[in-house]
Copies of this chain bind each other. A is one copy, B any other.
Amino acid sequence: MALHPELRKQFGDSVLSQEHEYLIENCFLHYTTKKNEILLQKGAVARYVFFVIKGCLRVFITDEDGNESTRFLILENNFGTAFPSFILHEPSNAIVQSLGTSELLMLSYQDREKLFQEIPCWESVYRKSIERDYIASIQRIESFITLNAAQRYESLLKNNPRLVQRLPAKIIADYLGINRETLSRLKSRK
Interface residues in chain A, defined as those with a beta carbon under 8 Å from any beta carbon in chain B: 61, 63-64, 69, 71, 83-84, 87-88, 93-94, 116, 120, 123-124, 126-127, 130-131, 133-135, 137-139, 141-142, 145-146
Q: Are A138 and B83 in contact (CB under 8 A)?
A: yes
Cβ–Cβ < 8 Å partners of A126 in chain B? 127
A63-B146, A142-B61, A145-B69 known; A134+B124 contact, CB < 8 A: no
Please, could you name 26 A-B residue pairs with CB atoms under 8 Å apart, sorted by A?
A61-B142, A61-B146, A64-B146, A69-B145, A71-B138, A71-B142, A83-B131, A83-B134, A83-B135, A84-B135, A84-B138, A84-B139, A87-B135, A88-B135, A93-B142, A116-B124, A120-B120, A123-B124, A123-B127, A127-B127, A127-B130, A130-B130, A133-B134, A134-B137, A137-B138, A137-B141
Please pick, from B63, B87, B138, the residue contacting A145 in the complex, using a CB distance under 8 A: B63
Main secondary structure of the interface of A (DSSP, over half): helix
Nearest chain B residue, comparing its CB with the CB of A142: B93
Q: Select from chain B the residue with minimum beta-carbon distance to A94.
A: B142
Q: State in angstroms the CA–CA spacing of A123 and B124 once bound together.
A: 7
**Closest Cβ–Cβ distance, residue A132 to chain B (whole Å):** 9
Q: 7 shortest A-B CB distances, which residue pairs?
A: A123-B123, A134-B134, A127-B127, A84-B135, A93-B142, A69-B145, A137-B137
B-chain residues with CB within 8 Å of residue A123 when the two chains form the complex: 123-124, 127
The distance in angstroms between the C-alpha atoms of A63 and B137, with both chains bound, is 18
From A88, A94, A138, A141, residue with most partner B Cβ within 10 Å = A138
Are A130 and B137 in contact (CB-based, < 8 A)? Answer: no
Q: How far is the CB of A176 from chain B (nearest CB, A)?
A: 15
